[in-house]
Chains A and B, each alone.
Chain A
């Protein structure tokens, strides 16, 4: 006997049926957010390709912010702890989240990391996502804002190649602009591409080498 059950359109999002496939993660993300809000903490999800300069950027921002407010870092990395070690040198709480074969952080992993550190006194948590511009887009973590880091060394078409990531971002950092000329990449064109996808988003050109844009990014993040 063949039977078909069909959810009527108004039932499709019914959580009781658990038919929404990303709902489990979304629920955990809301729990993380509630925990963070209760402690007055803003979490920032930092995304970008491998080698786009996420760790270095976070490191530079911590140097600027740690004397003013409590900062911690969660480092997502498939296998290594070298990024975590680099951040730990700055004497701020840091949790390494090894995803081993996973290509994105999810809300469950962030929930675990939140229970690893003392949240009292913290104001800002940087969550460095896995170096991947596709997967993390669909997995909210509970952060208040998402920063996408794209560097000129990734070429002129990085934004066009990964539109989904930018549609969900709150701030875009175009990194390594000191190398733009050598790479023959137009920073203005990259920024234009971002605004074609999402007109109201803030785009900040930056260089961790000469310090371009870093104060502006720090100001922007503290204001979120």
Chain B
């Protein structure tokens, strides 16, 4: 564990490692069952409302796929847009964004864009392997 110290310093977002581990476990299980020699590409769907940092996920993925059937495979990530539904005014659609929240980009909120009351997330919490491309 040579990086132990720097993990602490650099990664408040280590759940990317948990997610990367989960990807690798699922794909390798599939690869063993189906006698796949090499995995070329894994395509993920990640919801906009998920606190997942893509670059860190890629870094973890590359690190833990080494010396497996997934080594050097590409990790494609597609974002699923958030949608919300409002139980008060029956609004369904894209969420209201907090434009002036000092962040790098607007933040999706659970405030109904129509009536301002509390909306429920409908789409945007996905974290799914969509496809894998492989060689037999």
Contact = CB atoms under 8 A, between A and B. Distances in A.
Interface of A: 1-7, 12-13, 18-22, 24, 101-104, 106, 132, 134-135, 137-139, 157, 160-161, 163-164, 167, 196-201
B49 A167 contact: yes
A102 B110 CA distance: 29
B133 A199 contact: no
Contacts of A3: 133-136
Contact of B101 (A103, A163, A199): A163
Give chain A's interface secondary structure class: loop
Contacts of B126: 12
25 contacts: A3-B134, A5-B132, A12-B128, A12-B130, A13-B128, A19-B26, A19-B129, A20-B127, A20-B128, A21-B19, A22-B127, A101-B14, A102-B14, A137-B51, A138-B51, A157-B102, A164-B50, A167-B109, A167-B121, A197-B110, A197-B111, A198-B110, A199-B117, A199-B118, A200-B118
Contact of A197 (B44, B52, B109, B133): B109
Contacts of B2: none
Given A5-B131, A12-B128, A198 B118 contact: yes
Contact of A135 (B12, B129, B130): B12
A131 B128 CA distance: 27
Given A4-B133, A138-B50, A196 B109 contact: yes
Contacts of A101: 1, 4, 7, 14
Interface string B1-41: 10010010001111100110011001001000000000010
Given A1-B136, A18-B26, A197-B107, 12 more contacts: A4-B131, A6-B130, A21-B127, A101-B7, A102-B14, A104-B18, A132-B12, A138-B51, A160-B101, A160-B102, A167-B110, A197-B110
Contacts of A5: 131-132
Give chain B's interface secondary structure class: mixed
Contacts of A132: 12
B29 A163 contact: no
Contacts of A161: 102-103
B107 A163 contact: yes
A160 B15 CA distance: 20
Interface of B: 1, 4, 7, 11-15, 18-19, 22-23, 26, 29, 40, 44-45, 49-52, 98, 101-103, 107-112, 116-118, 121, 126-136
Contacts of A199: 110-112, 116-118
A92 B44 CA distance: 44
A214 B60 CA distance: 42
Contacts of B128: 12-13, 19-21
A21 B26 contact: yes
A5 B52 CA distance: 25
Given A3-B134, A4-B133, A12-B130, A135 B14 contact: yes
B101 to A, nearest CB: 5
A162 to B, nearest CB: 9
Contacts of A19: 26, 128-130
A164 B108 CA distance: 9
B12 A7 contact: no
B29 to A, nearest CB: 7
